[in-house]
Structure 1
Amino acid sequence: MPIDRAGLGTQVTELFRAQITEGAWPVGSKIPTEPELVEWSGAGRNTVREAVGSLVQAGILRREQGRGTFVVSTSELRSSVTRQAAVTSRRDSLELRLALDAASARIAATRRTPADNDHLRRLLDDRTAAWTSDDLHERVRADSALHRAVVAATHNPLLQDVYEGLLGVFEEVQLHDVAGATDDLAQLHADLVAAIVAADPDRAAATMSALLQPMINQESP
């Protein structure tokens, strides 16, 4: 993909950034090698190296010795929030999740589409099925998938991006909350989906609060 020579470094950086934000290089993937990027972009090796270095500094890419360069975030905002959340207390993380999840539930109840409703119902069933397994990571994965779908139903790309950046922190915090033999939150999750499908924003937000606030109350201030 040849590019103009004026402002070459900035152009190449933005070209690579677009590959990430548009999903061609998804989070977790390894980007092409330096020679491949040189050939694809039409830029020189030094310019490509500078562009990659700029995205590494921004926290969007990460170099791993002997393995290559990997996508770790889609934006500087997401990267910054993720780094900050990773060093906060469990209570702080839960309070942040409550703020985002309750707001998302409220918005989702006003914007969800029929396709969103169907997706939420399917993921609710998946979450229920996950509790038949003793695999705690599978339980967390299924729970996260449902909460992510609530955020996706807001159709707010900025909110989705921030939430995705925090998901790993939220899942780590949640691991010890899913160890019980029974799913004590099954009914509340069913009520949450029902409230969103019914386009009831107040009930959706209140139900999300009822899911998360008890966990916060167990933590020391």
Structure 2
Amino acid sequence: MNHSGKLSDKVSEQIRQDIKIGKYKPAEKIPAEPELMELYGVGRSTIREAVKSLAMSGVLKVQQGSGTFVNDGAIMEKESIDQRLKRADFEEINSVRRLMETELVKLAALHHQQNHILEIENRLAQRKQAIHTEQQQECIDADIAFHKAIAAASGNGVLADLYDSFTRIIRQFFSEREKSGISHFAMSHHLHEQLFKTIKAGKPKQAQQILEQILDKNY
């Protein structure tokens, strides 16, 4: 299933490129499924997934009974933010994470409620337990949950939602670095404890300084 998904992403990108070079022109009907299967050397389900993805992002327009057409503005269509994030390297991801979390910890220190503090503390305890049991996946889950709890405490729903979406990419990077085990989580746990204390105490500048140290360790 995962392989099929990745294959459909590749086909989507190939179709995008073919549109950009003029193989398929704006408002023009693209070939039917059998021809697309032959052109891109994949099965019907992969073509359907690719077309569905491009239709959702506005590149293609599916008209029942008529076929699938290239949208007029498709050549200028930019890839979605999720697609762009998939292509990003670790340093790019960490830079975006730094921007978001620096603001989130400041806002959390200023606007948190008691229920937020209890939730952050609970996630911190789960992180510590995962380190003690040396369970890497649990460490990843608990670490992300800890930072999401801080985002929720910020009082800025839009920024918290953006961060929630962004954590899918963070999780992917953590998982890909499986060989690192739990060492980075363990080494930075005391900083996470300090971050919690400064947020609870309502000290935004100190919270940001501690966050900088956490991100410098890449966890």
Is TM-score (shorter-chain normalized) higher than 0.5?
yes
| Gapped regions of structure 1 (runs ≥ 5) | 1-52, 60-78, 217-221
1:54–1:134 distance in 2 versus 1, CA, 3 Å: closer
In the TM superposition, residue 55 of structure 1 has moved relative to its aligned partner by 11
Q: Secondary structure at the match of 1:155?
A: coil
- Preserved CA contact (<8 Å) 2:135 2:182: no
For the pair 1:205 / 2:208, whether they are aligned, the reply is yes
Partner of 1:192: 195
Distance 1:119 1:137 in 2: 20
1:25-174 pair list within 5 angstroms: 57-58=56-57, 80-174=80-174
Q: CA RMSD in A?
A: 2.5
Q: Runs (4+) of structure 1 moved beyond 6 Å?
A: 53-56
Distance 2:192 2:169 in 1: 21
Distance 1:104 1:56 in 2: 34
Distance 1:155 1:143 in 2: 20
Higher helix share: 2
Distance 1:136 1:107 in 2: 30
In the TM superposition, residue 58 of structure 1 has moved relative to its aligned partner by 4.3
| Alignment TM-score, normalising by the size of structure 1 | 0.60
| Alignment TM-score, normalising by the size of structure 2 | 0.60
| Greater Rg by CA | 2
Aligned length, in residue pairs: 145
Distance 2:196 2:57 in 1: 37
State percent identity of aligned pairs. Answer: 21
- Preserved CA contact (<8 Å) 2:123 2:146: yes
